[in-house]
Each structure stands twice: as structure tokens, then as C-alpha cells.
Structure 1
Amino acid sequence: MPAIQLTPAQRKEKRADAHHLDPVVMIGADGLSSAVVKETDAALNAHGLIKVRVMSDDRTNRESIFAELADKLSAAPIQHIGKLLVLWRPMPEKVKAEREDAKPGPKVVKIVKFSKSGNHRPQIKKVQVLGNQRVAQGGEIKRAKRRITSVKKKAAD
């Protein structure tokens, strides 16, 4: 599969996004094995933009690994600087299974109340909130009310 082609502006934006990332996949002395490709594919599915560290000192070997990974995984090669490779692939849409009887169910919520003086420990209370309830600002549980929309928004709909 061919690699994704990006414009220089898009590539620059991805490089900026990848600046603070740590390497997710490390390629050691064995080089590019099927396990490494599989792990890189899983990381791309999970994160979209990843850094790969290649431990090899041979620059041509790193360039071939970079091109091969981008080709095998149909990802865009973003940057090759030193022993770091940056790859990007759009994350797949997560399919959410919808239930026929989808109603908000009860959930357990942790309410934390801090002391007024700040010298004491906060009080932690776990409360079960039903589907038609909400937690108010003071930690009280209230019945959920319909949100009030403006007259202009109602007219637009």
C-alpha cells in the first residue's frame, strides 16, 4: 500500500505536534521484524502520531526502515531526525455499538468536599447517581432538568 502524501504545511504541523512525544516503539539490533511492524501498527491505531527509535548507527539502514514502515503500514513519513522516526496515520473511527434500550443507567460518582480551612483532609463520599439525576455544585444530588435554550436557538432549529 502506498504511503500517505502530505503537503509541506501539513507535515510541519505534524512535526510540531510530535515534538513533545516520547518514542513508543524501539527497533533494536534485529532490525525490522514482523513483531515490530505489528507493534507499530497497534501504536498508530491507538495514537495516530508516533515516534519510533532505531538503535542502529547506519543512516541508510534507518532510512530504509523508515520508508518500509511507511509503506507497509500505509502511514505518512513525517520526519527522520537522528535515530528518531516520526510516522502519522489517521486514527480509525471507533465503532460504538448502540443498544435498542439505551437509557442512562446508574453510575457511582465520587464527591470530594474540601475543608474550608485547608488544614484538614477532604471528605470523600461515593454516591450512586441514577439516570435522571445530576450532581450539583455543592455535592448535592438533584433531578436533572432540561437545559434551557435561548429563543434564538429554538427559532434556528
Structure 2
Amino acid sequence: MAAALSNPQKRYLRGLAHDLKPVLLVGAKGITDNLVAEAGIALGHHELIKVKVAAGDRELRDEWLAELCQRADAALVTRIGNIGVLYRRSQDKPLIVLPKG
């Protein structure tokens, strides 16, 4: 399970994610095994990714993002509208140094 992020760490990651474009699109099928695999690959390369969720219902978007985080072993940094920001620290070579806190 991904470690919980503190508020200063989330703030720092939100700043880094500001200029990122979504790399994954969750469509009508929801969270599939292929989507989780792609999220794992993207998180392995970048550590911080944006995911666009194409669901009209807020509860469904939250549910899908929570499921994706759980299955990809990532932490949800923030969700604004239909865009979620996910973070998972690389085990081999961490790219992002999080502030203490």
C-alpha cells in the first residue's frame, strides 16, 4: 500500500503536477486490468501522473480513482473535477524528492 502523504507533500506534488497533461483516460468501462497495468508503467517511469476520468457522476469518479490507486499501489494527491493526480515513489531511482512532513 502506498504511504500516506502529508499536507506539505501533497502541496508540493500539486505544484509539480500543475503543468502535466493527463496520460491515462478512464472510459466507460471503468478500471480494467489493462488500465491498471498502464498506470503502473506510467507511475514507474514518471512517479507523478494525471488521470482523466470520463464519468458524469462525482461518486463514480471518486470510486474509480480510489480503486485505481488501490490496485496500482499509488497515492491520490488531489482530484479536481474529472482529473486526478496519482503518485507512487519509484523503488529503483526516485525522481521526486518529497519535503519532510
TM (norm. structure 2) is 0.87
The two structures, once aligned, show a CA RMSD in angstroms of: 1.1
Aligned equivalents of 1:48 and 1:89: distance in 2? 5
| Identity among equivalent pairs (%) | 39
Aligned to 1:75: 74
**Higher helix proportion (structure 1 or 2):** 2
Q: Write the distance in 2 (CA, Å) between the matches of 1:14 and 1:49.
A: 8
Q: Given the two structures, how large is their TM-score scaled by the length of structure 1?
A: 0.57
Q: Which runs of 5+ in 1 are unaligned?
A: 95-157
Amino acid at match of 2:89: P
Higher RCO (C-alpha under 8 Å, 6+ residues apart):
2
In structure 2, the residue matched to 1:9 is: 8
What secondary structure sits across from 2:52 in the alignment? Answer: strand
Question: Quick check: 2:77–2:85 contact (8 Å CA) kept in 1?
Answer: yes
2:23 is aligned with 1:20: no
Uncovered stretches (5+) of structure 2, i.e. residues with no partner: 94-101
Larger-Rg structure: 1
Shift of 1:4: 2.1
Secondary structure of the equivalent of 1:9?
A: helix
Q: Using the alignment, how far apart are the partners of 1:31 and 1:71 within structure 2?
A: 14
8 Å contact kept, 2:74–2:86: yes
Counterpart position of 2:98: none
Superposed CA deviations along residues 97-125 of structure 1, whole A, max 9, x for unmatched, are xxxxxxxxxxxxxxxxxxxxxxxxxxxxx
Please state how far the C-alpha of 1:3 moved relative to its aligned partner.
Answer: 3.2
Which has the larger strand fraction? 1
User: Within the alignment, does 1:85 sit opposite 2:84 as a pair?
Assistant: yes
Say how many residue pairs are matched.
93
User: 1:91 offset after TM fit, Å?
Assistant: 1.6
Residue equivalent to 2:39: 40
